[in-house]
Amino acid sequence: MWCRTTDEDQRQRGTGRQTRQRTPRTAHGTHVCKTISRDGTHRHSGVLSGVVCPPPIRPPTSESFAIMPAQSAALRSSVIPAVPGPTRLRLPDLLHITDQDADDVLGGRYDHLLPAPGIPTRDRWFTRLHSNDELDVWLISWVPGLTTELHDHSGSLGAMTLLSGALHEYRWTGDQLRRRRLTAGDQAAFPLGWVHDVTWAPFGAGSSHVPTLSVHAYSPPLTAMSYYEITERDTLRRVRTELTDSPEGQ
């Protein structure tokens, strides 16, 4: 990659993801990893505990307003609202939505949106599952050899649930890239300012021809992404911003 990385797989196994398990299923020529159903009574707490990001964000209250240390009279009177996101939806909501939609994909609700010949094995593929003013949800496939580039999601919160296969996520921590591995059933959340690259990852013998499938939700719907490079001084440099109607660096 562009810079030194650290493998935080082991560390993340304990704290950085939620694992959900599903029933084995093969659809449209694409092998969907073996999984088993999860107890729904654990769904909510599991989602919250799986967020790889700051603690759950609550609507602003009087206590959540921060008074800026003043250098001037104007600043002394300034109050900066703690704005967790631009819509009513929060990261736990998005995690829950991708969880539900992943179940729906596996249950066949969206079979009509899948390509008739099967999910492509050499090219990225995606389809929008549903959307409204506050939210859009996508089914995305990932294949070996392609990356998203290092990017953010502009002003959108994001979350994902992995249906099958595995992914590597390279997240910019402020001074380095950290890698984590996500496998079928895992979830991840992307707060504002999250900068990462995502790539397909091997998940067993013969997996190199099997796309990884994941469901992603963004709020508000994704309309722009910025791309970054890491400088020789281990700093992040934004190199371009693009308007987009497609998810994850497509």
- To Fe ion, the closest distance from the beta carbon of 216 in angstroms equals 8
SS3 track for the chain:
CCCCEEECHHHHHHHCCEECCCCCEEECCEEECCCCCCCHHHHHHHHHHCCCCCCCCCCCCHHHCEECCCCCHHHHCCEECCCCCCCCCCHHHHHHHHHHHHHHHHCCCCHHHCCCCCCCCCCCEEEEEEECCCCEEEEEEECCCCECCCECCCCCEEEEEEEECEEEEEEECCCCEEEEEEECCEEEEECCCCCEEEEECCCCCCHHHCCEEEEEEEECCCCEEEEEEECCCCCEEEEEEEECCCCCCC
Q: Give whichever of 138 and 203 is closer to Fe ion, judged by the CB atom.
A: 138
Residues lying near Fe ion in the complex (CB under 5 A): 248
Q: Give whichever of 27 and 52 is closer to Fe ion, judged by the CB atom.
A: 52
- To Fe ion, the closest distance from the beta carbon of 19 in angstroms equals 21
- To Fe ion, the closest distance from the beta carbon of 249 in angstroms equals 7
- To Fe ion, the closest distance from the beta carbon of 4 in angstroms equals 21
Q: Give whichever of 27 and 94 is closer to Fe ion, judged by the CB atom.
A: 94
Q: Give whichever of 93 and 248 is closer to Fe ion, judged by the CB atom.
A: 248
Q: Give whichever of 76 and 238 is closer to Fe ion, judged by the CB atom.
A: 238
Q: Give whichever of 101 and 248 is closer to Fe ion, judged by the CB atom.
A: 248
Kindly report the backbone phi and psi dihedral angles of residue 13, in degrees, each rounded to the nearest multiple of 5, phi listed first: -60, -30
Closest-by-Cβ residue to Fe ion is 248
- To Fe ion, the closest distance from the beta carbon of 168 in angstroms equals 13
- To Fe ion, the closest distance from the beta carbon of 211 in angstroms equals 17
In the block, which residue shows the tokens 């496998």? 183
Kindly report the backbone phi and psi dihedral angles of residue 87, in degrees, each rounded to the nearest multiple of 5, phi listed first: -130, 180
